[in-house]
Amino acid sequence: MPQIIRTEAGEELVVLPRAEYEALVARVEEAAEDEDDIAIYDSRKAALAGDAAVLPKDLSAMILGGDSRLKAIRQWRGMTQQHLSFRSDISQGYLSDLESGHRAGTPDTIAKLAAVLEVPVGWLSQA
């Protein structure tokens, strides 16, 4: 049960049991997360109204599951790293670095990969 204490200056202070305080903090954090989610949603919705790439549902699920776009698209196309690296004329190690985010591809490399994967370049170049 909360207690209200009045200071000599007339300010009211509330004393709460720790469990109630932690529940309030959790609600505030959830509200902040909800606001972040809404901002992301609004941003994506605005992007879709423009020229943003719209990914297939299966591919989006893989990306939301934690895969990089490049890895998700490669797997979605049923290719191994070895196969994609051979067809795009880049080393498998470089491809692995691109998929893991350790390196960023040049525009030419991204274009080669997009061509082999038969996807728009924007699918690979967007964050």
What CATH number does the domain containing 69 carry?
Answer: 1.10.260.40
Rg (CA), the chain: 24
Q: What is the mean pLDDT of residues 75-81?
A: 93
The pLDDT value recorded for residue 48 is: 67
Residues 78 and 95 in one domain: yes
Q: What is the mean pLDDT of residues 82-89?
A: 94
| DSSP letters spanning 29-76 | HHHHHHHHHHHHHHHHHHHHHTT-----HHHHHHHHTT--HHHHHHHH
Residues 63 and 115 in one domain: yes
Average of per-residue pLDDT values in the chain: 86
pLDDT band of residue 40 (cuts 50, 70, 90) is confident
The pLDDT value recorded for residue 50 is: 59
- Its domain, for residue 120, covers 57-125
Q: Give 55 or 88, the one with higher predicted confidence.
A: 88
The pLDDT value recorded for residue 10 is: 92
Q: How many domains does the chain have?
A: 2
Q: Which of 36-45, 55-64, 65-74, 82-91 reaches the highest mean pLDDT?
A: 82-91
Residues 38 and 63 in one domain: no
